Amino acid sequence: MSHIFPRHCKSAPPVATRGDGIYLIDSEGKRYLDGSGGAAVSCLGHSDPDVAKAMHDQIDRLSFAHTGFLTSEPAESLADRLVAHAPEGIERVYLVSGGSEAVEAALKLSRQYMIEIGQTQRTRFIARKQSYHGNTLGALGTGGNMWRREPFDPLMMSASHIDPCYEYRLRQEGETEEEYGLRAANALEEEILRVGPDTVIGFLAEPVVGATAGAVPAVKGYFKRIREICDQYGILLILDEVMCGMGRTGTLFACEQDEISPDIITIAKGLGAGYQPIGAMLCTGEIYDAIAQGSGFFQHGHTYIGHPVAAAAADAVVRKLTEGGMTARSAKMGTRLNDALHAEFGQHPHIGDIRGRGMFRGLEIVADRDSKAPFDPSRGIAGRLKKQAFENGLICYPMSGTIDGQNGDHVLLAPPFIISDEQIDELVGKLSKSLEQVL
């Protein structure tokens, strides 16, 4: 009997024993193609020798130093490397142990920044419906996925939520892409005016929405207008790139493709590529200077932030993503994956939309392609697809509640960037077979 507290008490998952490139191998010897990178984590696959060597070398030198007393060489190197490639204005890196911690740090820094500059009346955040920003109470509270929030709602800080930029469902007939983008972005200004411009701290959004909606990118011009609105009302723009960042969408930071610079960015998942638990919150020099010239102390922290072995692993990962060309490979193979998905599912009667960027792709599953009507939630399409694909040797990331937290199904794909043409064909073939078996 296992004493592990599992994610689901009524399932006993196989035991993973080995990683081999884009495959995971269980104790029975069965191989699984990791078509979702876990949860968009394993961007370099499961057996990268360079990252493993960086970790071993660091363990031999120094395994831990508490940041309340000391910094470390790998933490400093990682911060330098991230800032060198970050959007304009981003100058500081706060290392944490994962995505939820990164978002918590962003929320707390945003509030403290407002205190430091004398705008203590600002206490609200605005986010988007069907967003997901993490599972801690602060991150969950700002997220817009009601199914995840509901049991803990009485305990959480909260945010108000506007419609997402969700072209497939919300763009009106006869509306151009640019017109829709402006209309969707202007919903932020309407919400700011509704709650009071001087009460809002920041707007939190994923450049490409991940788990809850299935790789939904913003349309052209949306985030430029969002940036203008935030600047107009003195509100911080916080971009959650925990899932879509670190090369996943074909550029190191996803927001590069939207041609904007945020005030704060959160990253994790692909930052450590699964080799170590690590995340980061990056902020502008202006925000940092407000703290440095004010109280001088960010009132936050965790024991394992800036962990030397985690930082060494992440530094090796980011080096491969940048100098090693793996982000460029994500863009190239992402086009190949997109082509393969369209070839297989482009005319499928139950695939309504194929979307995403780079190696971050989503397929929205519908009962009727013409009307976009979703399947009845009672059919449990997403859960059944996940189980069937796993039986067929494919790990993918189906989710239900795509449209409003209850209705709609999608499957998210985020394979390692090292995937080959033949392995893309294997992924798409296994997904197609699994979908056919479920439907």
SS3 letters across 409-437: EEEEECCCCCCCHHHHHHHHHHHHHHHHH
Contact 291, 298 (CB under 8 A): yes
pLDDT at 291: 98
Contact 32, 393 (CB under 8 A): yes
Pairing type for strands 397-400 and 409-413 reads antiparallel
Pairing type for strands 200-205 and 394-395 reads unpaired
Pick the closest to residue 205 from 167, 262, 149, 257 (CA basis).
Answer: 262
Pick the closest to residue 310 from 275, 265, 267, 269 (CA basis).
Answer: 275
47-82 pLDDT per residue, tens? 999 999 999 999 999 999 999 999 999 999 999 999
Q: Going by C-beta distance under 8 Å and a sequence separation of 6 or more, which residues neighbour residue 438?
A: 381, 384, 385, 388
pLDDT at 274: 98
| Cβ atoms < 10 Å from Cβ of 18 | 13
Q: Angle at which helices 99-116 and 285-292 pack, to 10 degrees?
A: 60
pLDDT at 152: 85
Distance (Å) of CA 33 to CA 181, 296, 332, 437: 36, 48, 20, 18
For residue 186, give the 3-state DSSP assignment: helix
- E strand spans, 182-303: 200-205, 208-209, 216-217, 236-240, 264-267, 279-284
pLDDT at 158: 78
pTM above 0.95, yes or no: yes
- Give buried/exposed letters for 309-322 (b at 16+ CB in 10 A, else e): bbbbbbbbbbbbbb
d(CA 42, CA 249): 14
| pLDDT tens-digit profile, the chain (439 residues) | 899 998 888 888 999 999 999 999 999 999 999 999 999 999 999 999 999 999 999 999 999 999 999 999 999 999 999 999 999 999 999 999 999 999 999 999 999 999 999 999 999 999 999 999 998 889 898 988 877 878 888 887 779 999 999 999 999 999 999 999 999 999 999 999 999 999 999 999 999 999 999 999 999 999 999 999 999 999 999 999 999 999 999 999 999 999 999 999 999 999 999 999 999 999 999 999 999 999 999 999 999 999 999 999 999 999 999 999 999 999 999 999 999 999 999 999 999 999 999 999 999 999 999 999 999 999 999 999 999 999 999 999 999 999 999 999 999 999 999 999 999 999 999 999 999 999 9
Pick the closest to residue 227 from 218, 219, 237, 217 (CA basis).
Answer: 237
Pairing type for strands 90-96 and 279-284 reads antiparallel
137-178 pLDDT per residue, tens? 898 989 888 778 788 888 877 799 999 999 999 999 999 999
